Amino acid sequence: MRKDIYALGFKAQPWWWEAWTPNTALSQDPPARTQVVIVGAGYGGLSTALELRRNGIDAVVLERGVFGIGASTRNGGMISGGTNLGKGLGGKSPIAEEFERNKAALMGAGADSLTVLEDIIAREGIDCGLHKNGRFVGAWTPRHYDDMATKVEVYNKYANAGASMVPRERQHEFIKSDYYYGGMHATRAGHLHPALYYKGLLEAAHKAGAILCANIEAERTEKTATGWRVLTAKGPIECSEVVVATNGYTGDLTPRLKRRVVPVASHIIATEELPEPADKMLIPGMRAIGDTKRVLTYYRPSPDGKRLIFGGRARFTAAPPEVSAPALYQYMVDRFPQLDGIKITHVWTGNVAFALDYMPHMGTDEGLHYLLGCNGNGVAMMTYLGTQTAKKIAGGRNTPINPLDGREFPDHPFYNGDPSWFLPAVGAWYRTRDWIDRRLAG
Ligand SMILES: Cc1cc2nc3c(=O)[nH]c(=O)nc-3n(C[C@H](O)[C@H](O)[C@H](O)COP(=O)(O)OP(=O)(O)OC[C@H]3O[C@@H](n4cnc5c(N)ncnc54)[C@H](O)[C@@H]3O)c2cc1C
């Protein structure tokens, strides 16, 4: 195992935290009564609070850690709208058929999520290194390339993706690597600095009058004659509505929802400053890059173009840096041999939440509102679902307000909310399948 990859001063925390570190600066004590209590202060919870306040509704956000401790300051910051929906659904399952029937509406909602994200960033004046310069998705095998080619029309028709195929001969226009068999370029995509976006959303919610409470866990909810009581170590909070926005950190507060999401770890490394700017050395056009492997990787230049931020499922469960960093480093050098010897300065991990149908969900369960199941793509999507949930509450609606609202949220008889017994096996199986696919590709 290589040990020469760590820079002096190497840190096991997100590189993003160099610009903004999770903290409690805007924290207030929770009141005894409010209109809406939101559990979880990630993009989902904060965008719910912001939109509620814009509609004149009182909102209290409870965060059991410091603000920004969840996935929302740990992610890759890659954004797109709609092209990831339905990914992972295959064959003729009832879920895949339902997606097929409703894909126009569902992908349309996915496309809207990017618009909502951009609108919030512009309206609130959030300075978060937004680059709207597209995404290249590399094909792991010629068959994956052909599969993607069959979907381009659908992506463009329903998600307005601005997508086109890039054959292997032209791949170097997008990525200085021979690793892929060509790929797809979607223009309606890009990347941002996730922690600076988070900071902007946190400040906007605070400025709009939401009460934000750090280090306060929602321990239990009780139904009352007029709504809900949320129990915390600082006392109970009476409210009319509760919104659960806990995604990959969903716990025993909501056991029924816990059984509907699978927390999966994702890991990222950041390189030291590159000898040449990333767009010259690695990724012309500074685009975001993904690929079609089952054990996928995703990567992008830092907003200043000086480093590479490289993520992937080095392990499917939380893993210490000494396990995840060398694995990611190898994936990175497989794609960019020119980076062999570069040092890494940061490695970190966080949880994404997969729904059993690979779709994001909002709705109500036994009277509790929820927005859950980012499936690895939540920067735009959880912002959108939070905004939509707030609009629904503000409108006094119980009926669905968009195609992602109120869809069946499946569970499974063998899944009790703890995936640790099967995720390592799934990871090993996916790695084997990737290997076989590539061998067959010749
Ligand atoms: C490594 C990594 C890379 C990713 N890359 C991308 C990417 O490039 N693009 C993309 O679109 N998405 C990406 N994602 C996904 C994205 O980060 C998430 O979808 C998004 O941040 C989820 O936001 P959220 O508000 O739903 O949840 P979170 O930000 O995870 O917030 C949930 C919060 O709920 C809190 N909580 C839980 N239970 C309680 C309780 N009982 N009381 C109080 N608080 C509670 C937790 O402490 C947590 O802070 C990535 C995720 C990870 C981990």
pLDDT of residue 90: 67
> Which residues lie below 8 Å from residue 438, measured CB to CB, with a gap of 6+?
140, 141
pLDDT of residue 84: 86
Mutate to test the pocket of ligand 1, among 16, 60, 247 (most ligand atoms within 8 A of CB): 247
**Side-by-side strand order, sheet with 308-312:** 6-11, 344-355, 261-271, 308-312, 297-301, 288-291, 135-138, 183-186, 163-166
Backbone φ, ψ for residue 118 (5° rounding): -65, -40
pLDDT of residue 192: 98
Residue nearest to atom 31 of ligand 1 (CA): 42
Q: Which residues of the chain have pLDDT under 70?
A: 1, 88, 90-91, 442
Burial class of residue 194 in the structure, from the number of CB atoms within 10 Å of its CB (0-12 exposed, 13-18 middle, 19+ buried): buried
| Domains defined for the chain, CATH in brackets | 6-441 (3.50.50.60)
pLDDT of residue 318: 75
H-type helices in 192-320, by residue range?
Answer: 194-207, 255-258, 278-281
Residue nearest to atom 35 of ligand 1 (CA): 40
Six-digit token pair at 199?
């900071």
Ligand 1 within 6 A of 221 CB? no
Cα–Cα distance between 319 and 316 in angstroms, integer? 8
Distance in Å, CA 56 to ligand 1 centroid:
26
Ligand 1 within 6 A of 201 CB? no
Cα–Cα distance between 276 and 252 in angstroms, integer? 48
Ligand 1 atom at shortest distance from the alpha carbon of 80: 11
Q: What distance lies between CA 155 and its chain's CA centroid? A: 20
Ligand 1 within 6 A of 268 CB? yes
pLDDT, tens digit, for every residue of 172-208? Answer: 999 999 999 999 999 999 999 999 999 999 999 999 9
pLDDT, tens digit, for every residue of 214-255? Answer: 999 999 999 999 999 999 999 999 999 999 999 999 999 999
Cα–Cα distance between 411 and 246 in angstroms, integer? 17
Place of tokens 């990525």: 175
Return the amino acid letter for 44. Answer: G
Q: Is 391 left (phi over 0), alpha (psi -120 to 50) or beta?
A: alpha
Residue 194 near residue 77 (C-beta atoms within 8 A) = yes
Ligand 1 within 6 A of 62 CB? yes
